[in-house]
Amino acid sequence: MASSLIFSLLALLFISRALADIVPASPPVAPETVCNVTLYPKFCKSMLPRNGQGDIHAYGRLLVSQSLSSARKFSALVDKYLGKQSTLSKPTILALKDCKLLAGLNMDFLLSTSSTLNSPKTLLGDRTEDLQTLLSAILTNQQTCFDGLEAASSAWSVKNGLYSPLSNETKLYSVSLTLFNRGWVHKKIKRRKLLFSDTKPGHLSLIMSSRNREILESVARRNLLQTNSDSVVVRDIVTVNPDGSGNFTNISDAVSAAPNNTNIDDGYFLIYIASGVYEEYVSIDKKKKNIMMIGDGINQTIITGNRNIVDGSTTFNSATLAVVGQGFVAVNITFRNTAGAIKHQAVAVRNGADLSTFYSCSFEAYQDTLYTHSLRQFYRDCDIYGTVDFIFGNAAVVLQNCNIYARLPISGQFNALTAQGRTDPGQNTGISIHNCKIKAAADLASSNGTMKTYLGRPWKEYSRTVVMQSFIDSLIDPTGWNNWSGDFALSTLYYAEYNNVGPGSNTTNRVNWTGYHVINATDAANFTVSNFILGGDWLPATGAEYTSGLL
């Protein structure tokens, strides 16, 4: 214990002195004072030196460093259990593999965060938003690992061995995020917050209108567009066609051909997917950055699978398309999971790719259709079909100009459009539904049943969802929102509505929870493309149309 304390004190002193000239000095503060603003004061105090004082930045760097070390140990522990697969059930093995993937991402995110916090060039720059996003995603990854193990009922022995490390890491990550928010976020460069704005025109229609392979190939390695200063830059193009006339007959092979760890300044690796039904599971891993997939249109280019939790998959790994690689763009494609409502959780798309965009796409399943897992995401002009919790996850996500269709659930179920999974008040995450249409799908509209449909329910304690300037049809129950279990999260969630229209938009009989709000334009502006996901910084490169502020 004594040697550990001395090491911590020396590390804190070294970091404070080495970076004294990088960040404006903050007044020294006792660990007790710093820790009292976190969710876990007692745990926080146990991680900081007991004697002496540092400033908020030194404490923050120290805890990020400790988080990285802890993530490495946890990954090694998961490997240890995976080394005993012969003694484990299939659901347990799948849950552990999910944990392994997520632990690897956490190590990447923490390494990037630590490197940036110790760099003199970016501490007070725009990377503040990036680091807050990464630290938020680390907590999400941790929770996803825990949820997967919890769902694998046969994993009790593994859970028993991993519960304590998972719990302690969650506390450590939460404290690190809180101290980062306290030490850096309020010091970030102030951006001009947009309230109302014009729509930024998209140019992808110029790409989408051309189905001729020769035309697509003619624009390889140069700008696709030369309209003013807006252009979608492409480094290479490959085509996928099941008839054998393209470069590949399946999508996964085309993804494998993409170069690793590319820079967006060098352009997208464009995969043109001809019309057809592709029965395959497509994975865009973390090395496959800046991939753009363009199909021939909704219900023309279809990617379909049927993995589901009833048949032994984890929710996380049930996705027909799973995306992790940063900068992913999909256009004119339908993504399906055909397992059906009776198979419960069955994901069409799981998206954990930062700065990702889906434009003019369709997502079709029942329970858990679109898993907006983590980081920053944008959806425009998309169709989303489902029943229970069919837009869920813990990304910072804006869905704009989308059609959200509730389908007919199985007997005994009700529909919930959203189940947002924010577990910590410091996370910059939530679901923003802006200028969308919320309607009943044909099967629900034609049914004579009494199936209730709600805007959402709180999956996690700090669930955050905003519906604004959207059309809400009569399918939505007058109360608007439903609970998860008793009074869980009703005082800590943030659910809000702003200036919606349609027969289901009347807020008179909405829930009276502490966390529910009818907001004004100033508050609603916080959840726009410009302010919530900083879309103006990265969406122009995608060519997708977007509205930066309120209408």
**pLDDT tens figures, 398-417:** 999 999 999 999 999 999 99
The answer to whether position 109 is within a domain reads yes
Are 42 and 122 within one domain?
yes
Are 158 and 236 within one domain?
no
Beta strands in 301-449 (DSSP E): 301-305, 321-323, 329-331, 334-337, 349-351, 356-359, 362-364, 370-372, 376-380, 383-386, 391-393, 396-400, 403-406, 415-420, 430-434, 437-440
Are 239 and 363 within one domain?
yes
**Residue 315 domain boundaries:** 201-370
Cβ within 8 Å of residue 279, ≥6 positions away: 304, 305
* Measured distance CA(515)–CA(506) in Å, rounded: 18
Q: Is 389 annotated as catalytic?
A: yes
* Measured distance CA(86)–CA(60) in Å, rounded: 42
Closest CA to 252 of 230, 283, 229: 283
The answer to whether position 319 is within a domain reads yes
Are 290 and 172 within one domain?
no
The answer to whether position 105 is within a domain reads yes
Are 242 and 308 within one domain?
yes
Number of structural domains in the chain: 2
pLDDT tens track for 288-341:
999 999 999 999 999 999 999 999 999 999 999 999 999 999 999 999 999 999
**Max Cα–Cα distance, the chain, nearest Å:** 71
The answer to whether position 510 is within a domain reads no
Mean pLDDT of 71-96: 92
**What whole-number percentage of the chain has pLDDT above 90?**
73
> pTM of this prediction?
0.91
Are 414 and 452 in contact by the 8 Å Cβ rule? The answer is yes
Are 241 and 334 within one domain?
yes
Are 288 and 140 within one domain?
no
The answer to whether position 428 is within a domain reads no
Are 248 and 99 within one domain?
no
- Of the three residues 333, 351, 370, the one that is the final residue of a domain is 370
- Of the three residues 355, 370, 385, the one that is the final residue of a domain is 370
Beta-sheet pairing, 301-305 with 437-440: unpaired
The answer to whether position 296 is within a domain reads yes
Question: What is residue 53's predicted lDDT score, i.e. its pLDDT?
Answer: 73
Are 214 and 362 within one domain?
yes
The answer to whether position 6 is within a domain reads no
Are 146 and 233 within one domain?
no
Which position among 389, 443, 477, 523 bears the catalytic label?
Answer: 389
The answer to whether position 492 is within a domain reads no
Question: What is residue 194's predicted lDDT score, i.e. its pLDDT?
Answer: 72
Per-residue pLDDT at 27 exceeds 60: yes
Are 144 and 206 within one domain?
no
Q: Of 5-19, 141-155, 430-444, 525-539, give the lowest mean pLDDT range.
A: 5-19
Are 371 and 396 in contact by the 8 Å Cβ rule? The answer is no
Are 226 and 295 within one domain?
yes
- Of the three residues 339, 370, 401, the one that is the final residue of a domain is 370
